[in-house]
Amino acid sequence: MDHIRELRNRVVKMTLGLIAGMIAGFVFFQWAFHLIERPLCSAVVKGQTGCHTLASTSLSSKAA
């Protein structure tokens, strides 16, 4: 029975950690996405800079 209790404790801790990670990801999504997107937005593509000048320079745009 000790093994079953240990498994239950580990599953509960894993679930709580997963829920905490999901909440943190939801809260900090915009900040993290802008951090990842910043190098692309500052790159010069076909003589233009910025994420909103060409559809192909945005990470969130759909590829044609």
Confidence band of 64 (pLDDT split at 50, 70, 90): very low
CA 52, 58, 59: angle at the middle one, nearest 5? 155
CB 59 within 8 A of CB 36: yes
Domain boundary assignment for the chain: 2-57
Numbers of helices and strands, H then E, in the chain: 1, 2
Average pLDDT over residues 5-31: 96
58 or 41: which leads in pLDDT: 41
pLDDT tens-digit readout, 20-54: 999 999 999 999 988 888 887 777 777 777 676 55
Predicted confidence (pLDDT) at residue 62 exceeds the cutoff of 60: no
